[in-house]
Structure 1
Amino acid sequence: MRSMDPQLDKQEIVIVGAGIIGVASAACLSDAGYQVILIDRQGICEGTSSGNAGALAFSDILPMASKGILAKVPRWLMDPLGPFTIRPSYLPRLTPWLYRFWRASRADNLERTVQAQGAMMRLAELEMLGLMRRAGIHHMLRENGSLELYESEEELNAALPGWQARKNAGIAFEHLRGDDLAASQPGLSPRFVAGTFVPGWKTVSDPQHVGKALWDHAASLGAQFMRGEVASLSADRASTQVVMTNGTKLTSAKIVVAAGAWSHQLAHMLGDSIPLETERGYNTTLPASAFDLKRQLIFSGHGFVVTPLDTGVRIGGAVELGGLTLGPNYKRSEAMLAKAKLFMPDLETSGGRQWMGYRPSLPDSLPVIGYARASKNVLYAFGHGHLGLTQAAATGRLMTDLIEGKEPSIPIDPFSPQRF
């Protein structure tokens, strides 16, 4: 491990964070010939990236603020187990973020966000499929599409503007009813009167397995992993330094900050104030035999999805804004499981494993991608919210573009760390 060598190797990159964004960035940079050191206090995809819903949601271009959430928030906040909740004790701290979230919902801001997210998703699909092929894990891809479900025609009609925005972006979909809906997913409750099938939606066999396999690819090209916690970051025009809590000092040409929900704390050390909040997501993974699931089901009115994985049937989602220190409330997992049983009466709900993770969320639903204010030797790659797995390889491509001094593959001004 080259760490304290005064003769700086200009080809060495330190990445802080071994979630899917850090791992994909390590893989892309290793593919480009860089020597990568990946740092994490846990392990490869052992945190939030281990328990997500496994979707490659390339058609999900609408920001959270656009999905009718603002109108629903007052009702949802009355339900501590609902799709979107805020711990009352956390609300005062969250108020500035909620104000920015409200601003992001304005029509002019939404249009810019959709355009930026559309470009990001086109790059994401190209890069993720390419990276999976290079890593030899294309067999972990599932191309069964998704089915978003509605309990009334009114609910479907309320979603139509969002589907029009997707149509404008070239995303294919089909609204289903009656026999077509039943054939798309047998065993659904008759309470669902319509559904929207998105054929281009993809999932993976298991998100943690994919992340670890991408790391194996990076490691085969020379990338190294160091377990530990970062105490401080610093940078100047010539180099960067990471100091670990055990006193180890790593000197490198560049640092990539990809520490998920903890990234804003590292950015603050470099003079950047990033309004990142934590969406605490919950799930339960049942045995694979729990239900004959044909594709990912999206219950948008209830804020959760059900995904078929090689490792089981995963029921999870919802948003709890509560920061990094409050304890988990697994009654949220139980509430989603109870709803899933109501929506899929044949679902076997025993034998499940509960989980909670921390999604790093920006108020406009766009990630932070770009240079630190203090130095172009530090790059930020965080804040992807629900879309970390989906956008991981695209982010790795953009990190590689910036480090190589190339024009980014897509315009990155909408993702600027200084946009706030």
Structure 2
Amino acid sequence: MPDHFSSNSAHQNADIAVVGAGIIGVACALQLARQGLRVVVIDQQEPGQGASFGNAGHLATEQVFPIADLSILKRLPAMLMDPMGPLRLDWKYMPRALPWFTRLLLNLRPAPFQRTVAGIRALNESSLDAWHRLLDGIDCPGLMREDGSLLVYERPESRPALQALQARMRQQQVPVEFWEAKAVHETAPQLSEQIQGGLFFPATGHFIDPYRVVCELVNAARTCGVQFLTQQVTGGHLNETGVSLVTPQGRVTARRVVIACGAHSAKLTADLTGKKVPLDTERGYHLMLPHEHDRLPFAVTSLERKFIMTPMTDGLRLAGTVEFAGLQAPPSMERAWQLHRLSKGLFRRDLNAQAATPWMGFRPSLPDSLPIIDKVGDGKVLLAFGHQHLGLTQAAVTAELIAQLAGATSAHALPELHPYRLDRF
């Protein structure tokens, strides 16, 4: 990231203040600045240092189903007892998480479940085209690879479950192909012979360096006049002329605000709208293996082991696992190292974990697995958060929707905004 990250005060009377310098906030800032608006981005960290820094890099257009299904009830004991399980609930956090999980289960009833799937699918179907427009506009199309992705299985008894998943995805018009073992090994020859086959998703992709994507967007935004402030927004209120945001360094004023600070968005949303949002966080982990290059041609996920491996410029990123433990508990980096143990047996030769680096970040999740993308507070407050593990995938289309809410016209067909409104809660 360039070392001239601004902390000056030349931001008074901006047209729009964007709170949050992750991939969604930065993409929104760039789109808004291109409309001729004066934009300031505020974050307590430098751009891309939150969840955007360590995501799996996978453009997961195939993931149209909610983050959980009714089997979560059967898994609850394991979630509480197994600290290394793929889906973990910290027992100390359970009292706070219980209302959120209750709402999640209610949203798994047929009617709300179908609304969720339709809402996720609408964003995902528009996401890659939106990313093309955004990256082409900053002359960085090479950061995105559209080589597809693969979900593999190892146990013969897993085949019926995989075929059932294929059928469900086809019902949702997700492009998917069933690959037998021969096709898998011809395309990814370093995978183990024990791989039985998998599902290939041709309409997916990945970023070769997710953090660089943020940096390039920041550079383009600065060229458009966007200012970046390293300040923590601790509160705010609406007034006749717009929005006043409180930081330890003073107040930031703007005609409008975009709340795009991910898992940290609930308090500011409540301050400015009076609405308590049921926002929680999926704590995600990754392990970056810098000595692993050319092992995989695209992102590969293990059905049984429940994690993903994405090839990047700086090595191979192992990512996955979901942990519900809130924003305050320290990270359990052993969960990141567990990803390397999970990889053993997936390749003909085990992955090299020398100099590997672990990471943890907060994915903002709402109980219906849909983000909030809306305009409230007499048009002064724009909302763009709650994308759970699809923030990277949906960032560019979300930015276009926010620009539309801010008054820009679009030459492209964009998803209808009703499923993402704040007042659904």
Q: Structure 1-normalised TM-score?
A: 0.93
Give secondary structure in 2 for the equivalent of 1:64. coil
Change (3 A) 1:290 1:244: same
Q: Partners of 1:161 and 1:72 in 2: how far apart?
A: 20
* 1:211-269 per-position Cα deviation (integer Å, ceiling 9, x unaligned): 110111111111111110112121135311112122x2121111000011100121121
Aligned partner of 1:418 in structure 2 is 423
Per-residue deviation, residues 304-327 of structure 1 (Å, max 9, x unmatched)? 100100011001111000011101
The answer to whether the 8 A contact 2:232-2:247 is kept is yes
The amino acid that maps onto 1:413 is: H
Question: Contact between 1:401 and 1:409, CA under 8 Å: does it hold in 2?
Answer: no
* Aligned partner letter, 1:414: P
SS in structure 2 at match of 1:351? coil
Indicate the residue corresponding to 2:6 in structure 1.
Answer: none
User: Any idea what SS the aligned residue of 2:406 has?
Assistant: helix
Instruction: Supply the RMSD in Å over aligned alpha carbons.
Output: 2.0
Distance in 1, matches of 2:403 and 2:246, equals 24
Task: Tell me the amino acid that sits aligned with residue 265 of structure 2.
Answer: S
Q: CA deviation at 1:104?
A: 1.8
Alignment of 1:229 with 2:236, yes or no, is no
Structure 1 stretch displaced more, 148-157 or 34-43:
148-157
**1:243 alignment partner AA:** V
**Residue 188 of structure 1 is aligned with which of 183, 186, 191?**
191
In the TM superposition, what is the alpha-carbon distance from 1:161 to its structure 2 partner? 4.2
- The AA in structure 2 aligned to 1:369 is I
Query: Cα offset for 1:370?
Result: 0.8
Query: Are the counterparts in 1 of residues 190 and 296 from structure 2 also a CA contact under 8 Å?
Result: no
Distance change (3 Å), C-alpha of 1:34 and 1:184: same
Deviates more, 1:57-66 or 1:39-48: 57-66
Residues 156, 215 of structure 1: alpha-carbon distance in 2 compared, 3 angstrom cutoff: farther
Match of 1:103 among 106, 124, 136: 106
Structure 2 partner of 1:355: 359
Per-residue displacement from partner, 1:86-112 (whole Å, max 9, x unpaired)? 111001110001101111222222211
1:288–1:137 CA distance, 2 compared to 1 (3 A): farther
* Residue 289 of structure 1 pairs with residue 260 of structure 2: no
Distance 1:79 1:190, change over 3 A: farther
1:366 matches 2:367:
no
SS in 2 for 1:404: coil
| 2-structure distance, mates of 1:339, 1:410 | 38
In terms of mean alpha carbon deviation, does 389-398 or 144-153 score higher?
144-153
Question: Does the 8 A contact of 2:78 with 2:85 survive in 1?
Answer: no
SS in structure 2 at match of 1:190: coil
* Partner residue in 1 for 2:5: none
Q: Tell me the equivalent position of 2:270.
A: 268
- State how far apart, in whole Å, the 2-side matches of 1:178 and 1:162 are: 18
| Aligned match of 1:45 | 48
Show structure 2 runs of 5+ residues with no match: 1-8
Figure out how many residues of one structure are paired with residues of the other and give that number: 413
Secondary structure at 1:342 match in 2: coil
Whole-Å separation in 2 of the counterparts to 1:67 and 1:61: 16
Distance 1:136 1:365, change over 3 A: same
Residue equivalent to 1:197: 200
**Following the alignment from structure 1 to structure 2, what is the Cα–Cα distance between the partners of residues 156 and 376?**
50
**2: distance between equivalents of 1:31 and 1:309?**
30
Whether the aligned pair in 2 keeps the contact of 1:146 and 1:295 (CA below 8 Å) is yes
Matched, 1:326 2:355: no
Distance verdict in 2 for CA 1:103–1:160, change over 3 Å: farther
| CA distance in structure 2 between the partners assigned to 1:336 and 1:187 by the alignment | 18
Structure 2 SS opposite 1:349: coil
The answer to whether the aligner puts 1:155 opposite 2:158 as a matched pair is yes
Give the whole-Å Cα distance in 1 for the aligned partners of 2:386 and 2:162. 25
Q: Which runs of 5+ in 1 are unaligned?
A: none
Per-residue displacement from partner, 1:250-307 (whole Å, max 9, x unpaired)? 2111100001110012112121111111111111100143562111011243331001
Which residue identity is paired with 2:68? A
CA distance in 2, matches of 1:66, 1:339: 23
* Aligned-partner Cα distance in 2 for 1:405–1:217: 19
Equivalence for 1:210: 213
* Distance in 1 of aligned mates of 2:94 and 2:294: 38
**Residue aligning to 1:250:** 252
Contact kept in structure 1, 2:11 and 2:40, CA below 8 Å: no
Distance 1:418 1:159, change over 3 A: farther
Work out the CA distance in 1 between the residues paired with 2:192 and 2:239: 60
TM-score by length of 2: 0.92
Show the counterpart of 2:380. Answer: 377
